[in-house]
Amino acid sequence: PSTNASTKTEKTLAIIKPDGLLGNHTDDIKRKILENGFSIFREKIVQLDEATVKRFYAEHSAKSFFSSLIKYMTSGPALVMVLEKDNAIADWRALMGPTDAKKAKITHPHSIRAKCGLDTEKNCVHGSDSTKSAQREIFFFFKELSADVIADHDEL
């Protein structure tokens, strides 16, 4: 390894949900992403269908809000991104703010959800919640990326 080999980067999956994209929040959110030291490693616009949302949010399949979540996430196009930086997973969650956008407006007024979200469902953005979720979710949307690209790696 070279002398500069200690820069650990981490990747996370971010989504600008349909309310964020259709509400014209994309430019503001992207500016915030870049200002906070992330780079956008991959991005694409997708129109999610019911089956895809069911698989993506499978952990919530037993929740009372599941059918509503499916309706919301399929209501228009979404922007899916792989973000990269040191500590990307936790830092992106912090930048998003809490799940409930209404509460976020009070407790985390500078967060993305405070600025762009509406309530506990229509909260504008998604972020992976752990290393394991990040790897699963990045592969879910970007099948062409190999495992060693998705996992943390030492940059040359």
Binding residues for ATP: 17, 65, 93, 99, 113, 123
The reply on whether position 118 binds ligand RTP by CB under 6 A is: no
- In DSSP terms, 79 is beta-bridged to 16, 45
Distances (CA, A) of 49 to 24, 53, 57, 67, 119: 22, 6, 12, 13, 22
Tell me 75's DSSP state. Answer: S
Nearest residue to 81 (alpha-carbon basis) of 14, 26, 154, 156: 14
The backbone region for 87, taken as left when phi is positive above 0, alpha when psi lies in -120 to 50, beta otherwise, is: left
Compute the radius of gyration of the chain from its Cα atoms.
16
**Cβ atoms < 10 Å from Cβ of 19:** 22
Q: Which of 16, 32, 127, 134 forms a contact with ligand RTP (CB under 6 A)?
A: 127
Please work out the total of residues on this chain that contact ligand RTP, with binding judged by CB under 6 A. Answer: 10
Nearer to ligand RTP, 95 or 150 (CB): 95
The reply on whether position 120 binds ligand RTP by CB under 6 A is: yes
Q: Which of 5, 31, 58, 65 forms a contact with ligand RTP (CB under 6 A)?
A: 65
Q: Which are the contacts of 56, defined by CB distance < 8 A and separation ≥ 6?
A: 48, 73, 137, 140
Residue 144 CB, shortest distance to ligand RTP, in Å, is 23
The reply on whether position 12 binds ligand RTP by CB under 6 A is: no
Q: Which stretch binds ligand RTP (CB under 6 A): 39-47, 78-86, 125-133, 140-148?
A: 125-133
| Known catalytic membership, residue 126 | yes
Nearer to ligand RTP, 13 or 150 (CB): 13
- Enumerate the active-site residues: 126
Binding region for ligand RTP (CB under 6 A): 60, 65, 69, 99, 120-121, 123, 126-127, 129
